[in-house]
Amino acid sequence: MAHYVLLSNFTDQGIRTIKDTQKRAEAFKEMASKSGVKIHTLLWTLGKHDVVAVAEAEDDIAATAL
């Protein structure tokens, strides 16, 4: 399985509900798991991207679908 670094930004709705970000992170991990992708690390950042995730997936298709 390959490892992937995912760079993400919050949507407008995500920014408005920032206080729920940890709940949303857990929901994201569960969704990823159901898709066969394992999230190793989720990091909240400052700067151009809001979140960095390190994930493990079977292939590029699974990682991209997530």
What is the rounded average pLDDT for all residues in the chain?
94
> Average pLDDT of 11-28?
92
Question: So what's the pLDDT on residue 14?
Answer: 85
Question: So what's the pLDDT on residue 66?
Answer: 86
Q: Domain limits of the chain?
A: 2-65
> Average pLDDT of 12-41?
93
Is 90 exceeded by the pLDDT of residue 30? yes
> Average pLDDT of 13-20?
90
Give start and end residues of each alpha helix (H) in 1-66: 12-16, 21-34, 60-65
- Specify the residue for token string 């857990």: 26
